[in-house]
Amino acid sequence: SAGIVVVGGGQAGFQLQQALRSQGFDGRISLLADEPFLPYQRPPLSKAYLKGEATDDDLAFATADFYRDSGVEIIEDRAAAIDPRTKTVTLSRAGSLSFDRLILATGARNRRLPGLEGVHGLVSLRTLANAQELRDRLLATGDIVIIGAGYLGLEVASVSADMGASVRVIEMAPRLMSRSASPAVSRLFQERLEARGVRFELASSGVRVLHHGGQVTGVEWNGGSVRTKLVLACIGVDPNTELARDAGLDVANGILTDGYLRTAVPEIYAIGDCAAYPNIHFGQTVRLESVQNAVDQANCVAAAIVGEARPYASLPWFWSEQAGMKLQIAGNTTGQAQEIVVDGDHQAGALSAFHFRDDVLVGVESVNRPKDHMLARKILRSRQVISAAMLPQLLAPAPAA
Ligand code: FAD
């Protein structure tokens, strides 16, 4: 038979082929990977790798031998087109592949600031190649301006400051990580990052990158400006949906799937950063960008292919590391809560923020409180109903035996 074709050699694509083999699938698997590296993990790119504490080899999920031994063919090429009727994928360089099942794991790409193509010193961070360039330039210039105070921008800010660089972060919103963190968590990270030397320009509008002779020279915003030769734009991502769209599949903010992660063509699935699916915990269609989401969705689709189709139901969780602190998020903290209860010690840098919607716990952010995070995952996964009034009892230390 034609076998499985996976488009995209990122976190989701890697996990899919591995899960298929570990769940006993012994048919043909082809993994289309268009980057010039074997599949690798992205989280360290803005953490240990940028610091110089991890090498290219450390990032790889597996060696070439691993794929050969497990009979997975890695094809270093792009999928250029899909024909759902004949079940074939056309490759961009040469040839085509037929499939029984096709998994779209095309990920997302960084948004770019318009009108600045080819300007030196304006960088982006998504790939290993990007991270190599960012690290080289950072070591050369010793200063950086980061546009966007989301997780990615702040992780880079934190590492850059620790490397001794002068760091400025410019953000449109009045606080850090405003899309998914509570005000208490934003404040804590701002204080700790400032203590390490990061300077913030919050609530800044009209940001524009200045350049001269093809080289970045500075950044201006309404109310201020700074000279720099290195600017990192961390202004969000767009899902890679063109391939699906051109094949006639439904696409909105992501490739749309049903609760089983299938597109309208039942033999074609979409997983990871590129997929928008109905999330039972959030009660709406979402597109998530996390390792957890990529891994669990890949496992779910692999199980369906070997014959155990179940709706995708995993609880979303996420982590970030900045200023020597670990932030962990379970469930939904994206601003739909009516009440947020903060427990912990701001001074000590250890607290959790519990988000309630209609007096039901829907999400928890924890900073240096891993126990709260694990408890939150357990509660939210089992869909146990916890009200704000029940919280003190939940957090009380267990009585001594
Ligand atoms: P990707 O990893 O983006 O992989 C998609 C791959 O498909 C890419 O290699 C792309 O080039 C390829 N591709 C696209 N189109 C085609 C085509 N037509 N043909 C062939 N190949 C194609 N998440 C966390 O949970 N915690 C973290 O701390 C964290 N830190 C991060 C730090 C950084 C710097 C970045 C960039 C991301 C981080 N993430 C983190 C997010 C996490 O890495 C992503 O959610 C995850 O990589 C998504 O996996 P994916 O396979 O869906 O997409």
Q: Can you tell me which atom of ligand 1 is nearest the CA of 273?
A: 52
Cα(339) to centroid(ligand 1), Å: 33
Choose which residue among 5, 7, 11 to substitute to test ligand 1 binding: the one with the highest number of ligand atoms within 8 A of its C-beta: 11
Q: Can you tell me which atom of ligand 1 is nearest the CA of 10?
A: 4
Res 88 pLDDT > 70: yes
Cα(108) to centroid(ligand 1), Å: 6
Q: Region 325-329: what's the mean pLDDT?
A: 98
Res 401 pLDDT > 70: no
35 lines ligand 1 (CB under 6 A): yes
| Mean pLDDT across the chain | 96
- pLDDT tens-digit series, residues 358-397: 999 999 999 999 999 999 999 999 999 999 999 999 888 7
For residues 235-263, one letter each, b for 16 or more C-beta atoms within 10 angstroms of the residue's C-beta and e for the rest, the string is: bebebbbebbeebebebeebbbbeeebbb
106 lines ligand 1 (CB under 6 A): yes
79 lines ligand 1 (CB under 6 A): yes
Q: Region 208-219: what's the mean pLDDT?
A: 97
Res 399 pLDDT > 90: no
Res 400 pLDDT > 70: no
43 lines ligand 1 (CB under 6 A): yes
Cα(128) to centroid(ligand 1), Å: 11
